[in-house]
Amino acid sequence: MFADRTSWNLATNRLADALARHRATGKPLFDLTVSNPTECGFVYDHDAILRALSNPAAAIYQPEPRGLATARRAIAEYYAARGCDVPVEDILLTTSTSEAYSFVFRLLCNPGDELLIPAPSYPLFDFLADIQDVKLIRYPLFYDHGWQIDFHALEQAITPRTRGVIVVHPNNPTGHYTNSAAMERLNEICSPGNLAIIADEVFLDFSLTQELHPSFAANRQSLTFTMSGLSKIAGLPQMKAAWLITSGPEQWKSEARARLEVIADAYLSMNAPIQLAVPSFLQQRHAFQEQLMARVRDNLHELDRQIAAQDSCARLEVEGGWYVVLRVPATCPDEDLAVDLLESSGVYVHPGHFYDFPNDGYLVASLITPGRDFAEGIRRVLARF
């Protein structure tokens, strides 16, 4: 009855089962996986948010495949504030970065074509690729004084079917940015090979250092698709507003833009009230980002304080983003450890294998967890060793 591409294993995993059992007991849960910013105790200007949604211009339907110009101009201003010049006509609005990924996958790949993705990274890619009949090939990152791309392995992974390389900048959950030397190396590989760079920058603004990390939207050497959105930048995942920027050599760029416009025109998925509210939502990002970074810094500080008081566990370096990777003794598979932490300590953390860590001994915790839960959850994790 159904297409092969949807023949997923739909059974819940052991950790999800353990979580449901724990919740059913009604015992306290220290959830260190929270990633929904609207449920983390941040203060939003609800009046301003709702006012932005009641623009009378929304009473008129103005179908525009790339999205309303007012919203795209506000996005160009967002990049200009970072010192990055993005022409308004190179921006296309989507309802999520996931939708932006699917447009790019459709643009670049015939069924069975390949895209390179980093490992470890964000687990949603597999489903997005399955739905678009794209084959994902992992290229490893390795940890040596911070995270690095294994460029040798990346080049070995390229086949005649490879259409592009995905980078997450900064990566989830490793929290490292692609530095300028790595960007240069990616261009040296992608440009002559006619491979596109697909850059996911949803966490770009959440840097823990003073450095202003350049966006891939400024990249002109290879055909580049840069995506981001309000889910993370403004902490508004419920608004379903994101964007896709095309840059690169002029001829490739204009051809890609024209084809993307046809894909977008076939859906016209953005709704008017949200598009009209984008300038206001982007304005509101500053207050959100300030609170979020204060939370991330406080939690990292607390983590380091607790780690300093024991000698079994450590954490990996983090340059930005919302997550931290804990290095714990690899005495059992990470999933067993995560299930055990839930059952015996009431702490919910993600095992490294959810993110394709190459071996056991890694747990991932969310740094946007409310402070008291974070401190107690970490205390319970460390007490396990």
Among 237, 346, 361, 370, binds ligand PLP (CB under 6 A): 237
* CA–CA separation, 91 and 247 (whole Å): 9
Question: Tokens 């930005």, residue?
Answer: 320
**Could you give the string, one character per residue 145-174, with x where binding to ligand PLP holds by CB under 6 A and - elsewhere?**
-----------------------x---x--
Question: One symbol per residue from 10 to 49: x for binding ligand PLP (CB under 6 A), - otherwise; what is it?
Answer: -------------------------x--------------
Instruction: Please state the closest distance from residue 201 (CB atom) to ligand PLP, in A.
Output: 9
In the bound complex, what is the minimum distance in angstroms from residue 340's beta carbon to ligand PLP? 26
Euclidean distance between CA atoms 40 and 368, whole angstroms: 7
Residue 244's φ and ψ, nearest 5 degrees, are -135, 130
Name the one range near ligand PLP by CB under 6 A: 95-103, 191-199, 264-272, 335-343: 95-103
Provide the 8-state DSSP code for 321: S
**Three-class SS of residue 53?**
coil
Q: Which is nearer to ligand PLP, 35 or 289 (CB)?
A: 35
361 binds ligand PLP per the rule CB under 6 A: no
CB 221 within 8 Å of CB 196: no
- Interface with ligand PLP includes 98 (CB under 6 A)? yes
How many other CB atoms are there within 10 angstroms of residue 197's CB atom?
25
Specify whether the CB–CB gap between 324 and 300 falls below 8 A.
yes
CB of 230 to ligand PLP, least distance (A): 8
Stretch that binds ligand PLP, among 74-82, 149-157, 229-237, 254-262 (CB under 6 A): 229-237
122 binds ligand PLP, rule: CB under 6 A: yes
Can residue 231 be called a binding residue for ligand PLP (CB under 6 A)?
yes
Distances in Å between the Cα of 278 and the Cα atoms of 10, 34, 117, 259, 283 are 36, 25, 30, 24, 9
Q: In what order do the strands lie in the sheet with 147-149?
A: 91-94, 242-247, 224-229, 196-200, 162-168, 114-119, 135-143, 147-149
CB-wise, 202 or 217, nearer to ligand PLP? 202
Residue among 37, 118, 229, 352 that touches ligand PLP (CB under 6 A):
229
What are the tokens at 63?
């179908």
Distance, in Å, from the CA atom of 52 to the CA atom of 50, rounded to the nearest integer, reads 5
Q: Considering the complex, what minimum distance in angstroms separates the CB of residue 379 from ligand PLP?
A: 26
Give the one residue of 74, 86, 97, 196 binding ligand PLP; rule: CB under 6 A. 97
Output DSSP code: residue 59.
G
Q: How many residues bind ligand PLP (CB under 6 A)?
A: 13
Element (H, E) at 157: helix 151-157
Are 194 and 162 in contact, with CB atoms under 8 Å apart?
no
Tokens representing 33 are 């996986």
Contact pattern from residue 169 through residue 208 relative to ligand PLP, giving x for each residue in contact according to CB under 6 A and a dash for the rest: ---x---------------------------x-x------
Give the range of 92-100, 147-155, 341-349, 356-364 binding ligand PLP by CB under 6 A. Answer: 92-100
Chain centroid, CA 53 distance in Å = 26
Which residues contribute to the site for ligand PLP (CB under 6 A)? 35, 96-98, 122, 168, 172, 200, 202, 229, 231, 237, 242
